[in-house]
């Protein structure tokens, strides 16, 4: 039976936008560079209820509105804000060069930014020292978003890591560029020839995914992941903290995390932090794995998960942890509230208050996982 509101019930409070945490470059958009320990409300630059996405990089932040507008602030020494200059910006500021180009998604790397338009075109700006802009013969940095011409097919999802980036096309093909993973690959797997997509400075198709259709791509500092339309999760790159749920220290090619790790359920959503991952399955179960020393996984660790990579078998240069598998959370407070979007990036938090009855209905997970693990410590969830 549908609930009928009565006159005595309080109306839901309006959405509000808050920011807190590290602020050395003005990345909180509060107009100063002082760190903020308690959430402070942001006003003026747009209506909070109109915000579609929030993300952050090494020292810069970006907000995409429902209308496709892009607002940026923070560190800008390499032009990663796309504003045509290299001065830090203390308030969320509209990227005016894109006013006539509605934005669908933004992915912030350490010192660069990847932008996806609503038409499926990919743009980039910021540092290009490792080919992370996808323009191999371009300048060392770019202060105005430029198109990545080699991505000619419509793109539906983008991701950015420390020094690499990814894109998934409408047909389910995954491309990667930027040499950020190559150094780890050479060090951890000596003597092996790395696939071209790990060393490319322009979009290169990720091999090993030919029999799957990607719907989403993700990136951590030194790893990549892809979710398929069949609910399968593939991972590759560094496994230093067990974030790939593999025995190898480095995976040069995509490897599927087997379904039994998710209790034989399809994965419907995935988020990647700096060195950990969070996945939600078709029945709403939430699984976490990877680095946990700051409470990133939101649960108590089993004894077999507390491993260190230095214990790997020296006779096998690509061997790694004995076991680091996804484990489910028994509860997830806040992140599972309908109408709530919580940022673990120490950047911003939008929260639309609900009645107690509404908070009791866990309908879906709506959470933004941290780009940097140690900015906001998410410890054991409690109700």
d(CA 244, CA 99): 39
**Nearest to 39, CA basis, from 24, 23, 21:** 21
Are 328 and 354 in contact by the 8 Å Cβ rule? The answer is no
d(CA 371, CA 377): 12
pLDDT band at 15 (very low <50, low <70, confident <90, very high): confident
In degrees, to the nearest 5, what angle opens at C-alpha 310 toward C-alphas 307 and 316? 105
Question: What is the reported pLDDT for 99?
Answer: 92
Domain ranges of the chain: 203-337+354-383
SS3 187: helix
- Tens of pLDDT along 262-272? 999 999 999 99
Global pTM reads 0.81
Query: Average per-residue pLDDT in the chain?
Result: 82
SS3 155: strand
- Tens of pLDDT along 314-358? 333 333 333 466 776 544 332 222 223 333 333 344 333 333 333
d(CA 146, CA 124): 5
Question: Class assignment of domain 203-337+354-383?
Answer: mainly beta
Task: Count CA atoms closer than 13 A to 117's CA, side-chain side.
Answer: 19
Give the distance, in angstroms, between the CA of residue 120 and the centroid of all CA atoms in the same chain: 19
The alpha carbons of the chain give a radius of gyration, in whole angstroms, of 20
- Taking CA atoms, 376 is separated from 54, 58, 204, 372, in Å, by 15, 14, 34, 8
- Tens of pLDDT along 121-135? 999 999 999 999 999
Are 234 and 225 in contact by the 8 Å Cβ rule? The answer is yes
SS3 59: coil
Residue 191: which region, alpha, beta or left (left: phi > 0; alpha: psi -120 to 50)?
Answer: left
Question: What is the reported pLDDT for 352?
Answer: 36
Token pair for 68: 């496709």
Kindly tell me if the per-residue pLDDT of 204 is higher than 60. yes
- Tens of pLDDT along 60-119? 999 999 999 999 999 999 999 999 999 999 999 999 999 999 999 999 999 999 999 999
Bridge partners of residue 243, in order along the sequence: none
Question: What is the reported pLDDT for 19?
Answer: 96
Average pLDDT of the segment spanning 236-258: 97
d(CA 89, CA 106): 18
Place of tokens 């940022």: 343
Residues composing the chain: 383
Kindly tell me if the per-residue pLDDT of 368 is higher than 70. no
């Amino acid at each position: 039976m549908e609930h009928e509101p009565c006159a005595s019930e309080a109306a839901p409070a309006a959405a509000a936008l808050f920011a807190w945490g590290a602020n050395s470059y003005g990345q909180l958009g509060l107009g100063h560079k002082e760190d903020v320990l308690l959430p402070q409300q942001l006003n003026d630059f747009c209506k909070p209820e109109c915000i579609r996405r929030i993300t952050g990089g090494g020292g810069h932040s970006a907000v995409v509105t429902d209308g496709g507008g892009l607002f940026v602030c923070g560190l800008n020494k390499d032009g990663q804000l796309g504003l045509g200059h290299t001065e830090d910006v203390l308030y969320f500021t509209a990227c005016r060069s894109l006013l006539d180009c509605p934005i669908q998604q933004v992915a912030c790397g350490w010192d660069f930014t990847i932008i996806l338009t609503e038409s499926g075109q990919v743009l980039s700006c910021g540092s290009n020292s490792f080919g992370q802009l996808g323009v191999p013969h371009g300048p060392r940095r770019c202060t105005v978003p430029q198109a990545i011409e080699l991505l000619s097919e419509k793109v539906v999802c983008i991701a950015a890591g420390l020094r690499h980036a990814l894109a998934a096309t409408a047909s389910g093909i995954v491309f990667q560029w930027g040499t950020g993973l190559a150094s780890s690959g050479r060090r951890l797997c000596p003597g092996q020839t790395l696939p071209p997509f790990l060393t490319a400075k322009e979009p290169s198709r990720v091999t090993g995914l030919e029999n799957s259709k990607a719907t989403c791509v993700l990136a951590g500092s030194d790893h990549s992941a892809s979710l398929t339309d069949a609910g399968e999760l593939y991972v590759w790159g560094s496994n230093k903290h067990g974030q790939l749920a593999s025995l190898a220290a480095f995976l040069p090619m995509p490897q599927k995390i087997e379904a039994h790790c998710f209790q034989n359920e399809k994965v419907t959503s995935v988020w990647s932090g700096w060195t950990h991952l969070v996945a939600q399955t078709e029945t709403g179960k939430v699984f976490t794995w990877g680095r946990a020393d700051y409470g990133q996984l939101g649960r108590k660790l089993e004894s077999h998960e507390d491993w260190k990579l230095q214990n790997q078998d020296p006779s096998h240069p690509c061997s790694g942890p004995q076991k680091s598998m996804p484990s489910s959370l028994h509860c997830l407070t806040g992140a599972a509230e309908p109408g709530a979007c919580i940022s673990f990036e120490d950047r911003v938090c939008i929260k639309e208050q609900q009645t107690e009855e509404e908070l009791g209905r866990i309908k879906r997970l709506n959470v933004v996982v941290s780009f940097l693990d140690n900015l906001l410590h998410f410890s054991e969830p409690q109700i």
